[in-house]
Amino acid sequence: MNTFGIEASAKLFSIIRDENDIKTVLKGNENEPIFILGGGSNILFTEDFDGLVIKNEIQGFEIIKENKNFAIIESGAGEVWHEFVLKCIDKNLGGIENLSLIPGNVGASPMQNIGAYGVEIKDVFEYLDAYHIKDKKMRRFNAQDCKFGYRESVFKNELKGQYIICKVAFRLTKTHTLKTSYGAIENELHDMKKSNPSIKDVSNAVINIRQAKLPDPKKIGNAGSFFKNPIVSTELLNKIQSKYADIPNYPASHNQVKLAAGWLIEKAGWKGRTYENRYGVHKLQALVLVNYNQSKGDEILELSTLIIDDVKSKFNITLEREVNIL
Ligand code: FAD
Ligand code: EPU
């Protein structure tokens, strides 16, 4: 149940399919540590879980409101994200086509404000309903309440572990503004000979790029980018540029730039390194740590610490992990 393919077990395990299930499952387990599991695509288990794992399989797809320009769609947290994207595209609803093929479930999408190719979930987010485990109450969160940031939300920080996200609603368009300015998307659409692309074409372009770049978890265990791309001062960028003029960098807030962690890790010499033929740094994408065969979560965690220390000593940048460590 985790895309890293790490073996770990839970003392207690339950599946929830609706809000009533939550109450039933929690009854009598009030004092257990609780972990909510979606598709398991952003988790590294380093040990067994001595508590209750609740797998969220709440389904549902409903158009709540619509006019000629937009529609508000509510989705159950347990729906598979990519299938949700495809269903919306089939109904000519746009805004999430750039987020095609991101693994995992709809319920986890606000957790780290999933993003790819110039779009983040916050751009289309309307609200979510989440159940407070201790207070036993449902609460509605709007975008402001969620405190979205780059791979961040309130649920990864001050409200960590407190809520079960049950439903998420998105505001999607019927007349679309495509976001194709990412170089790779433009090139792919060009190769696909799509001069006037639809949202389906953009989705297909993103799928092609992702399949070429990222290892398929069904074949090689991984959780996507293991680290976040660091945001640093332009002063530090200038310093690094004096040695490496070609360092990729993207404007962030005032006097700050986002760097590519994959580039830093590659330049530090880690790309493709493999240990005991079991785990290592992916050959094509240095930002992705991989489990080739029966590795343990703590081995991968230790590798990530070595990488963090080395990048710090070479570039004076402290990489932060994106993956949730358990
Ligand atoms: P899980 O891994 O099951 O859980 C992640 C966290 O969310 C855990 O802390 C869990 O407790 C919590 N959680 C999950 N569901 C709920 C819920 N209903 N209520 C409360 N808490 C919950 N991410 C990106 O942003 N962009 C990408 O481009 C991207 N590419 C990826 C590519 C690959 C090959 C892989 C393997 C991963 C990639 N990811 C990417 C990371 C991952 O797909 C996302 O973080 C995704 O949203 C995780 O969903 P999940 O359902 O698998 O969550
Ligand atoms: N690069 C290298 N070496 C590498 C990998 C990348 O030099 O081994 C360079 C690339 O050449 C490029 C730059 O780094 O110049 C950025 O690479 P890429 O466009 O592949 O994106 P990324 O920074 O590696 C981020 C997200 C991905 C998301 C893509 C597309 C983060 C942490 N990662 O990856 O999200 O899909 O952009 O938008 O922000 C995830 O979060 O799990 C994830 C996969």
Residue at 68 is within a domain: yes
Q: Are residues 24 and 128 in the same domain?
A: no
Q: What was the pLDDT predicted at 253? A: 84
Last residue of a domain, one of 173, 195, 230: 173
Q: Are residues 232 and 285 in the same domain?
A: yes
Provide the domain limits for residue 81: 61-173
Q: Is 129 in the pocket of ligand 2 (CB under 6 A)?
A: no
User: How close is the Cα of 47 to the center of ligand 2, in Å?
Assistant: 28
Q: Is 271 in the pocket of ligand 2 (CB under 6 A)?
A: yes
Q: Hey, which residues are catalytic here?
A: 151, 225, 322
User: How close is the Cα of 262 to the center of ligand 2, in Å?
Assistant: 6
CB atoms within 10 A of CB 63: 12
Residue at 181 is within a domain: no
CB atoms within 10 A of CB 300: 27
Last residue of a domain, one of 153, 173, 193: 173
Q: Do 69 and 175 form a contact (C-beta atoms < 8 A)?
A: yes
Q: What was the pLDDT predicted at 239? A: 96
Q: Is 165 in the pocket of ligand 1 (CB under 6 A)?
A: yes
Q: What was the pLDDT predicted at 102? A: 98
Residue at 1 is within a domain: no
Residue at 206 is within a domain: no
**Average pLDDT value for residue range 191-215:** 96
Which of ligand 2's atoms lies nearest the C-alpha of 182?
38
Residue at 40 is within a domain: yes
Q: What was the pLDDT predicted at 182? A: 82
Ligand 1, atom 53, residue with closest C-alpha: 38
Q: Are residues 93 and 51 in the same domain?
A: no
Ligand 1, atom 45, residue with closest C-alpha: 42
**Average pLDDT value for residue range 8-29:** 95
Ligand 2, atom 41, residue with closest C-alpha: 225
User: Given ligand 2 and candidates 119, 150, 208, 225, which is best to mutate, with the most ligand atoms within 8 Å of its CB?
Assistant: 225
Q: Taking the mean position of all CA atoms in its chain, how far away is CA 195?
A: 30
Which of ligand 1's atoms lies nearest the C-alpha of 107?
18
**Average pLDDT value for residue range 161-179:** 97
Q: Which residue has the tokens 């399949």?
A: 211
| pLDDT tops 80 at residue 136 | yes
Q: Is 109 in the pocket of ligand 1 (CB under 6 A)?
A: yes
Q: What was the pLDDT predicted at 74? A: 98
Residue at 191 is within a domain: no
Residue 302's CATH number: 3.90.78.10
**Average pLDDT value for residue range 116-134:** 97
Q: Are residues 91 and 16 in the same domain?
A: no
Structural domains of the chain, count: 3
Q: Is 95 in the pocket of ligand 1 (CB under 6 A)?
A: no
Q: Are residues 52 and 110 in the same domain?
A: no
Last residue of a domain, one of 173, 190, 205: 173
Residue 39's CATH number: 3.30.43.10
Q: Are residues 85 and 163 in the same domain?
A: yes
Q: What was the pLDDT predicted at 183? A: 75
Q: Are residues 44 and 70 in the same domain?
A: no
Q: What was the pLDDT predicted at 254? A: 84
Q: Do 297 and 48 form a contact (C-beta atoms < 8 A)?
A: no
**Average pLDDT value for residue range 105-129:** 97
CB atoms within 10 A of CB 165: 24
**Average pLDDT value for residue range 288-309:** 97
Q: Which ligand is nearest to the CA of 53?
A: 1
pLDDT band with cut points at 50, 70 and 90 for residue 186 = very high
Q: What was the pLDDT predicted at 250? A: 92
Q: Kindly report the average pLDDT of the chain as a whole number.
A: 96
Residue at 28 is within a domain: yes
**Average pLDDT value for residue range 25-42:** 95
| pLDDT tops 80 at residue 154 | yes
Q: Are residues 227 and 273 in the same domain?
A: yes
Q: Are residues 31 and 66 in the same domain?
A: no
pLDDT band with cut points at 50, 70 and 90 for residue 289 = very high
Write the pLDDT tens digit of every residue in 234-254: 999 999 999 999 999 998 888
| pLDDT tops 80 at residue 267 | yes
CB atoms within 10 A of CB 261: 22
